[in-house]
Amino acid sequence: MRGRPKQQTTLFSLRTPGDRVPAGHPLRRVKDMADAALAALSPTFDEMYSGTGRPSIPPEHLLKSCLLMAFYSV
């Protein structure tokens, strides 16, 4: 079963993670592009996952984390 995204607003802080990234940072544009592309793929992901069973990590989260690792790897 495909898991649903849960936004974590804070982590022991009164600021969200988005507040810590500068407004003009290039990753903001990359995030917008990735969100748009993954939103278009969402119906495909829904078809691939079963409606029953234990929820998984949403594939959008996994793909976005791989993208971040690619940008920050040496």
pTM of the entire predicted model: 0.69
8 Å CB contact between 14 and 69: no
8 Å CB contact between 44 and 60: no
Higher pLDDT among residues 5 and 60, named by residue: 60
Predicted confidence at residue 33, as pLDDT, reads 94
- What pLDDT digit, counting tens, does each position of 39-58 carry? 999 999 989 988 888 888 88
Contacts of residue 73, defined as CB under 8 A and 6 or more positions apart, other chains included, come to: none
| Short-list 66, 63, 57, 65, CA closest to 4 | 57
